[in-house]
């Protein structure tokens, strides 16, 4: 049995992903649901294979406690043997919108107050917390295993389509989502090579969830909404141990290739594996190449 941590699991994408994982027969999943508050609605999910942990993802203390709880909870006995403590997958999914507008009027007779960066803390800083803790426990699991051939830990970050585009109405949110795209593309390949940890990012379009107001949901044209089923499909393609992609024309992902450092834009019912920006010229291509293992950047940081 595999173990997942899902942050922001009480609603929206996190709740839908929780429910989907629990329906799977192979592999079977148990899920640690992390959120500030339990789900408001009654859940039709297996209570034996779910554990709710109250969590403020912007708090290092809370995130550390979440992983410690998840690690301890996985120590269960099966009919044949005692499983190793393991966390196979984390969906770093918790999110929120801007809590302060840079466009708001200011009182010029007094000094400005410190900006409210809750949006950045939840959508960006918390992902760094989750990544460090996930790598730590992945290494700890592998060190305890006699045979780690079936342990292929995956992290998927819930980004946003605005991680690639301007988003005037919520610049903090936009900047944070740009940040997780850069993080994914930076760490994905090296972590897979060094620790067999895959890191990817899902970038949904407009998904009708609680983050949007009822008025916005009512006004948004149905033909421009993104299907929750498509978002879940993106997660499943990215965590599949064989990298399988159903060949039905709805995803341009390559089947049979383990996914890491990928950013997948999900729009309507379609999945688009987005590529990095091309180098402007030979000098930029050289700079980027020197950031790879064995390059000048690495030797400088090592010193």
Summarize pLDDT for 236-256 with one digit per residue, the tens.
999 999 999 999 999 999 999
Cα 171 from chain centre: 20
Mean pLDDT over all residues of the chain? 93
CA 141 – CA 153 distance, rounded (Å): 10
* pTM score: 0.95
Query: Which pLDDT value is given to residue 212?
Result: 81
Instruction: Give the pair of three-digit tokens for residue 138.
Output: 């992945």
Task: Name 60's bridge partners.
Answer: none
CA 201 – CA 282 distance, rounded (Å): 28
Query: Which pLDDT value is given to residue 213?
Result: 84
* Percent of the residues in the chain that have a pLDDT greater than 90, as a whole number: 83
User: What confidence tens digit (pLDDT) does each residue in 134-189 have?
Assistant: 999 999 999 999 988 889 999 999 999 999 999 999 999 999 999 999 999 999 99
Query: Which pLDDT value is given to residue 108?
Result: 97
Query: Which pLDDT value is given to residue 237?
Result: 98
CA 20 – CA 243 distance, rounded (Å): 18
Q: Are strands 89-92 and 50-54 parallel, antiparallel or unpaired?
A: unpaired
* 144: number of Cβ within 10 Å: 11
Instruction: Give the pair of three-digit tokens for residue 240.
Output: 């599949």
Residue 302: pLDDT band (50, 70, 90) is low
Q: Where are the alpha helices (DSSP H) in the chain?
A: 12-23, 60-73, 118-120, 126-144, 171-195, 214-219, 228-239, 282-289, 296-302
Residue with tokens 């978002």: 231
Phi, psi of 219 (to 5 degrees): -85, -25
Does residue 46 or residue 238 have the better pLDDT? 238
What are the domain boundaries of the chain? 2-302
First and final C-alpha spacing in the chain:
43
Is pLDDT of 79 > 50?
Answer: no
Query: Which pLDDT value is given to residue 298?
Result: 79
CA 88 – CA 221 distance, rounded (Å): 38
Query: Which pLDDT value is given to residue 42?
Result: 61
Is pLDDT of 77 > 50?
Answer: no
Instruction: Give the pair of three-digit tokens for residue 75.
Output: 């120590």
Torsion of CA 137, 139, 144, 149, to 10 degrees: 110
Q: Which pairs with CB-CB distance under 8 Å and at least 24 residues apart come from 272-277?
A: 274/164, 274/203, 276/185
Residue 126: pLDDT band (50, 70, 90) is very high
Give domain 2-302's CATH architecture: 3-Layer(aba) Sandwich (3.40)
Is pLDDT of 14 > 50?
Answer: yes
Is pLDDT of 211 > 80?
Answer: no
* Residues 6 or more apart in contact with residue 2 via CB below 8 angstroms: 27, 28, 29, 30, 86, 88, 89
CA 7 – CA 12 distance, rounded (Å): 11
DSSP string, 218-274: HHS-GGGPPPHHHHHHHHHHHH-TT-----SSSB-PPTTS---S-EEEEETTEEEEE
Residue 76: pLDDT band (50, 70, 90) is low
Task: Report, as an integer, the average pLDDT of 123-142.
Answer: 97
Q: How far is CA 195 from each of CA 77, 90, 145, 239, 290, rounded to the nearest angstrom? A: 26, 15, 14, 16, 22
């Amino acid at each position: 049995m595999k173990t997942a941590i899902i942050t922001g699991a009480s609603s929206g994408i996190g709740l839908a992903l929780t429910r989907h994982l629990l329906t799977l027969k192979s592999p079977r999943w148990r899920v640690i649901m992390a959120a500030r508050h339990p789900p408001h609605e009654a859940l039709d999910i297996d209570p034996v294979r779910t554990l709710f942990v109250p969590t403020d993802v912007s708090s290092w203390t809370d995130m550390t406690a979440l992983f410690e709880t998840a690690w301890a909870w996985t120590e269960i006995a099966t009919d044949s043997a005692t499983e190793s403590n393991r966390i196979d997958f984390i969906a770093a999914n918790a999110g929120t919108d801007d809590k302060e507008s840079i466009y708001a009027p200011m009182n010029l007779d007094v000094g400005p107050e410190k900006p409210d960066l809750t949006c950045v803390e939840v959508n960006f800083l918390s992902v760094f917390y989750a990544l460090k803790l996930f790598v730590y426990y992945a290494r700890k699991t592998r060190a305890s295993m006699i045979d780690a051939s079936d342990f292929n830990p995956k992290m998927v970050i819930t980004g946003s389509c605005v991680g690639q585009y301007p988003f005037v109405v919520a610049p903090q949110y936009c900047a944070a989502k740009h940040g997780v795209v850069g993080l994914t593309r930076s760490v994905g390949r090296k972590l897979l090579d060094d620790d067999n940890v895959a890191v990817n990012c899902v970038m949904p379009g407009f998904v009708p969830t609680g983050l949007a107001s009822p008025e916005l949901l009512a006004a948004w044209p149905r033909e421009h909404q993104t299907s929750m089923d498509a978002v879940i499909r993106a997660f499943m393609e990215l965590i599949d141990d064989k990298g399988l992609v159903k060949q039905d024309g709805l995803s341009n992902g390559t089947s049979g290739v383990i996914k890491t450092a990928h950013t997948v834009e999900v729009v309507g019912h379609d999945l688009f594996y987005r590529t990095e920006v091309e180098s402007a010229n030979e000098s930029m291509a050289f700079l980027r190449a020197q950031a790879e293992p064995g390059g000048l950047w690495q030797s400088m940081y090592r010193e």
